[in-house]
A = this chain, B = another copy of it.
């Protein structure tokens, strides 16, 4: 029996999802192909789509349709009950934010973004400071509207990682900070350092492009339901389970930027292509959280794409594509090169060993800002001190320090932690995968990722938003999100690489 109430709810949500999908197409185009003068009109089109989607979703119609199902959730198919539950969760949160506040937030966001762009270009924090102050005040109000138990930062975390709390993160990040800093210190002191000389050549962009597409295809990314384009900042996006796109950037001097970027975005894209088609045009057709999304991109990029097994397969392919490199370059040389560790200033260029340290310092600063222990004016000083403490290096200017990331200008706090959580989640998933698929690494060495993908499809991709991130990690690993698995992974990989074990 087709339940008419469910059909009506799905038709209503379908319109909201269509508007969001359309907005995503417009944003993709803006990053990839839009001519420069088109920006102003595009801003207006996006604002209209987002306002209409918000108005439609927060309309009484949504409540009416949900109320009609409320008494019967137990009688509904599990997936439908889940849809009602997730929709109710989103609806309640969306209703808590007054429309006037949403508008004010958008205006401050847009001004802060402009100020940040200019401030970063001039490496002049003073220009951004007043906007950061306003933004922090707005984010505290946002937290008050949304509600929280322990700290307003929890409300912001909840925006990006449902169920995650500051109380859960604190001890985990403390453990990571201590042990990753120590590991990096040992690595930097090691006499064995990777040989990068063989890679110092020109890597033609056209061959990089073909190499990236080759690897994406091997991973199982469906190019009939996706495509790759160039953009300044690589990203992935989806408009439907059958239209999931990635972008990459190419540099003739840095070949692994393109390929690692493509594998990373490919990991996101496989997640989006793997959702359950039954969930199309509903809020279930999304990643469970940013952290789970990042677990997919980082697993593919770092655990697979930076593994020795992977390069046993792809070093010959690399030689085929690039006659420019020495004919005798070995998988071990490539493996060492793509895993070179070096504390550096810029988060997006950081290696696996230092990456979480960049996140932790941001988390600490955000928490101090939101809880009122740190003034916006004091951010550069706090930033530079933490970079020294965790990474052992000096920040020469704010462009390479606290102005490097767009997130705060965009009003996103509580977002950075999800990157580190992605690393942790991936490391907690991997032992389960190795247990269920003991031939995993032998198959990776053949360029066969089918077993891995099937496992991820079943345990992560098809779940969509039907579980929270903590539920997903717990169901797979048997434990809550934690530091141990990731630290074990890092140490077992990097100590031997640097002759320390």
A residues with a Cβ closer than 8 A to B are: 14-15, 18-19, 21-23, 25-26, 29, 33-38, 40-42, 44-45, 47-49, 52, 222-227, 229, 239-243, 245, 280-281
- Residue of A36, A44, A229, A241 with highest tally of chain B CB at under 10 A: A44
Task: List the B side residues contacting A19 at CB < 8 Å.
Answer: 48-49, 52
Closest to A45 in B: B18
CB neighbours of A239 from chain B (8 A): 38, 41-42, 45
A-B contact pairs, 5 of them (CB 8 A): A15-B52, A19-B48, A19-B49, A37-B224, A41-B242
Q: How far is the CA of A265 from the CA of B43 in the complex (A)?
A: 26
Name the residue among A23, A240, A241 with the largest chain B CB count within 10 angstroms: A240
| B residues less than 8 Å from A52 (CB atoms) | 15, 19, 52
A34 surroundings in chain B (CB, below 8 A):
243
Q: Is the CB of B281 within 8 A of A223?
A: no
> Which residues in B have their C-beta under 8 angstroms from that of A25?
25-26, 29, 45
Majority secondary structure of chain A interface residues (helix, strand, loop or mixed): helix
Question: CB-nearest residue of chain B relative to A48?
Answer: B18
Residues on B with beta carbons closer than 8 Å to the beta carbon of A227: 33, 35
CA distance A40 to B227 in the complex (A): 17
CA distance A45 to B26 in the complex (A): 12
Instruction: Give min CB distance, A260 to chain B, whole Å.
Output: 23
Q: CB-CB < 8 A to A42: which residues of B?
A: 239-240, 243
Interface centre among A15, A42, A44, A45, by most chain B C-beta atoms within 10 angstroms, is: A45
A22-B26, A33-B227, A37-B225 known; 18 other A-B pairs, CB under 8 Å? A15-B52, A22-B22, A22-B23, A22-B45, A25-B25, A33-B229, A35-B224, A35-B225, A37-B224, A38-B225, A41-B239, A41-B240, A41-B241, A41-B280, A42-B240, A42-B243, A45-B239, A52-B52
The answer to whether B223 touches A14, judged by C-beta atoms less than 8 angstroms apart, is: no
- Residue in B closest to A56 when the chains form the complex, CB atoms: B52
**Partner of A14 from B48, B224, B243 at Cβ < 8 Å:** B48
Question: Are A37 and B222 interface neighbours, CB within 8 A?
Answer: yes
User: Whole-angstrom distance between the alpha carbons of A21 and B181 in the complex?
Assistant: 51
| Interfacial chain B residues near A35, Cβ < 8 Å | 223-227, 242-243, 245
- Bound CA–CA A214/B29 (angstroms): 24
Which B-chain residue is minimally distant from A41 (CB atoms)?
B240
Give CA–CA (A209, B15) in the complex, Å.
Answer: 40
Measured between beta carbons, the chain B residues less than 8 angstroms from A44 are: 14, 18, 281
Residues of chain B contacted by A37 (CB below 8 angstroms)? 222, 224-225, 242-243
Residues in B with CB closer than 8 Å to A29 are: 25, 29
Give, as a whole number of angstroms, the nearest-CB distance from A43 to chain B.
Answer: 10
B21 and A41 contact, CB distance less than 8 A? yes
A243-B37 Cα distance, complex, nearest whole Å: 7
Residue of B with least CB distance to A240? B41
- Which residue of chain B is the closest to A273 with respect to CB atoms? B37
Minimum-distance CB pairs A-B, first 7: A41-B240, A38-B243, A18-B48, A37-B242, A37-B225, A18-B45, A22-B45
Q: Which residue of B lies closest to A51 (CB)?
A: B15
**In whole angstroms, what is the CA distance A180 to B298 when docked?**
68
- B-chain residues with CB within 8 Å of residue A280 when the two chains form the complex: 41
